[in-house]
Amino acid sequence: MPTETTLTTLKQAQENRRWVVLDAEGKVLGRLATQAAGLLRGKHKRFFTPCVDCGDFVIVTNAAKVQVTGKKLEQKFYFSHSGYAGGKKIVPYKLQMERDPRKVVFLAVKRMLPVNKLRACQLKRLKIYPGAEHPHAAQLAVPKAS
């Protein structure tokens, strides 16, 4: 049973979230997704609890320059189905990277997170940009201590 001080610490963690920037240029997709999922869940914090959403905001830049290992460039596919007969869509990795590289990184991070009610809240804190620029410079500024 969590004590009152533990609950206070967890509430503070939810209020004081950090903003972390991950540069995807030259990084392997799976390793980047694992790192982002851990930050979104809050596994790097000493008071991590699986049932409490205490993770940080994650900004992924240069999503268009992420790498994959092996023959995944030709062999990896993204599958979706509409539910209707003949409603399947199969998109190769290479074509998906040309269309929208943000979706590739988003799906990799989404599939690294556990399937529970917290996943949607954690994914809202994930911001992905195909280039190096992002509009969150104000959040990254470290506030002065009073």
Domain-embedded: residue 13: yes
Name the 3-class secondary structure at 31.
Answer: helix
CA distance 135 to 122: 20
Residue 104 belongs to some domain of the structure = yes
**Number of domains making up the chain:** 1
- Burial code (b: 16+ CB inside 10 Å, e: under 16) for 107-129 equals ebbbebbeeeebbeebeebbbbb
Express as a percent the part of the chain with pLDDT over 70.
Answer: 88
95-128 pLDDT tens trace: 999 999 999 999 999 999 999 999 999 999 999 9
Q: Is there a contact between 69 and 87 (Cβ–Cβ < 8 Å)? A: no
- Cβ-proximal residues to 90 (8 Å cutoff; 6+ apart), any chain: 77, 78, 79
Q: What is the pTM of this model?
A: 0.87
The whole domain housing 123 covers 4-67+100-131
- CATH number for the domain including 107? 3.90.1180.10
